[in-house]
Structure 1
Amino acid sequence: MKKILLLLLIIPNILLSFDHNHTAFDGILKKYVRNGKVNYKGIKKVENSFNSYLNSLSAVSQSQYNGFNKNQKLSFLINAYNAFTIKLILDNYPLKSIKSIGFLPGAAWKKEFFKLLGQERNLDWIEHQQLRVKFNEPRIHFAIVCASIGCPPLISEAFTPEKLETQLEANTEKFLKDKSKNKYDPSKKILYISPIFKWFKKDFEKNGSVISFVKKFMGVDIPEKSEIEYTYYNWNLNEQ
């Protein structure tokens, strides 16, 4: 009888277990993402296995998610955003830009096309109602990727709880050192930065200023009173 009771306790935990290494997604990213560019045609050929990973995300209940620690939650949400963005592109492929999806501005991010934590969701829900509201973590803006060249590059691996801190630091630094998107002109005392810092200014000012955040990762001395100008944001598809 004791053995039966023990099995009854263990089996639900096995059934509810979640792969926090995101192994399936990690394999797809390693094979089909190079230098931040995505081989959408290649992923489309393995869409069944990709959809299996998406289904594993959708299978996570709210109560199960509540039991995740902070890094597990962040990794889950970041990977979900990136994976379902890829899914959205595949469902509308071929296309030149994610902004061409739908008729109204921002339609791609407001479209409810996947299930997460027990309800139908959209990409805006992950970003604005979860990541930005529930975590004081501005570096998420350099981890979630909106399938555009102007976005931070999609890394060739899944985000995982154990590597999350290193991954967030590395991708934030890589983006801010990309001089096609961010640079400082000391002769003019002008800081040219991505519009991401305009759109989400409040997120970067929670623990200081935009300039203090930028100079930490850009690795240059930028006076706090420097003028800020925003660079061009390229919405073309981030395709190989």
Structure 2
Amino acid sequence: MRAFLFVVFVFLPVATQAETLKSAEFDHSHAAYTELLQKHVVVYDEGRRSVVDYAALQKDEPALNAYLQNLADVSVDQYRSWNEDQQLAFLINAYNAFTLELIVDHYESFASGERESIRDLGGLFYSAWEREVVDLLGRMRTLDWVEHKTIRVYFDEPRIHAALVCAAMSCPKLRAEAYIPTTLDAQLDDQMRTFLSDRSKSGIDEKGLYLSRIFDWYEDDFGDLRAYIRQYADALADDKAERKALAGDIRIRFTDYDWRLNTPENAGLLKSSQ
């Protein structure tokens, strides 16, 4: 079971009636975000992968900023009044949307070739994920805070590693829709299956089982990795022989990570019309 993120803010007062009303008015369908994603996310490879048309998204930045402001307007007390799926959907969407904004804010440097990956947005003593670029729950925070100090700490949900997208080619695909509480479980399961069915990242060959480096970095989150992966045998194995190999003590290796920006150009796709 995933745990509610109430304890981290236990010292704060109970939500007022006005805040509860405002909370009820928050759009948990994240419709504005879905509209942006449907316009600017390019899904390909039979739905297994996606890239972002950042040039077009940059022209639509006011709409992105308006959505981010809606997230920023949510108070801690509002957040505490939500159920578990509302909280987790909110955090996943926030991580992905603020990542998009981070890239859009520096898109010219990517377009010019000055920068190639999100890692190039870091400094000498900090990474891109340690920059305070996330306006959330009453203060400026980092992407690392959202992922490592919040989601991974207070939610026992390893499938988030197939849902959080850091703008790299080897990341899981960014869905062309927001995560919403009413379908969150199904969306997360579909994300994991889709991620594991992408043969550029995971699969079985003559050397054994190869997986995205994400499963190496966060192996502890999955518990017994082999047992966890076997739940998705239908996504990983392409035939009976591969399923049999997966059921045994198959050797596991992890693939190199392609940190290049997840753009149509880097994917070898035609640039989307602008």
TM-score, length-scaled by structure 2: 0.79
Counterpart of 2:99 (choices 82, 85, 102) is 85
TM-score, length-scaled by structure 1: 0.89
Aligned counterparts of 1:47 and 1:218: Cα–Cα separation in 2:
40
Q: Is the 8 A contact 2:209 2:252 kept in 1?
A: yes
2:270 match: none
Residues 196, 18 of structure 1: alpha-carbon distance in 2 compared, 3 angstrom cutoff = same
Q: Is the 8 A contact 1:195 1:230 kept in 2?
A: yes
1:235 equivalenced with 2:259 (yes/no): yes
Question: Which aligned pairs between 1:1-240 and structure 2 lie closer than 5 A?
Answer: 13-16=20-23, 17-35=25-43, 36-94=50-108, 95=110, 96-104=116-124, 107-185=127-205, 187-188=206-207, 190-205=208-223, 209-219=224-234, 220=237, 221=243, 222-240=246-264
Aligned counterparts of 1:30 and 1:105: Cα–Cα separation in 2:
36
Backbone CA RMSD of aligned residues: 1.7
- Return 5+ residue gaps in structure 1 as ranges: 1-8
Quote the offset at 1:224 in angstroms. Answer: 4.6
Aligned counterparts of 1:47 and 1:181: Cα–Cα separation in 2:
31
Aligned counterparts of 2:134 and 2:118: Cα–Cα separation in 1:
17
Quote the offset at 1:104 in angstroms. Answer: 3.4
Q: Is the 8 A contact 2:19 2:77 kept in 1?
A: no
Quote the offset at 1:11 in angstroms. Answer: 5.9
Quote the offset at 1:225 in angstroms. Answer: 2.1
Please state whether the residue corresponding to 1:162 is helix, strand or coil: helix
Residues 168, 12 of structure 1: alpha-carbon distance in 2 compared, 3 angstrom cutoff = closer
- After the TM superposition, list the runs of 4 or more consecutive aligned residues in structure 1 that deviate by more than 3 angstroms: 9-16
Quote the offset at 1:139 in angstroms. Answer: 0.2
Aligned counterparts of 1:200 and 1:11: Cα–Cα separation in 2:
40
- Return 5+ residue gaps in structure 2 as ranges: 1-15, 44-49, 111-115, 238-242, 265-274
Paired residues, what number? 227
Q: Is the 8 A contact 1:211 1:224 kept in 2?
A: no
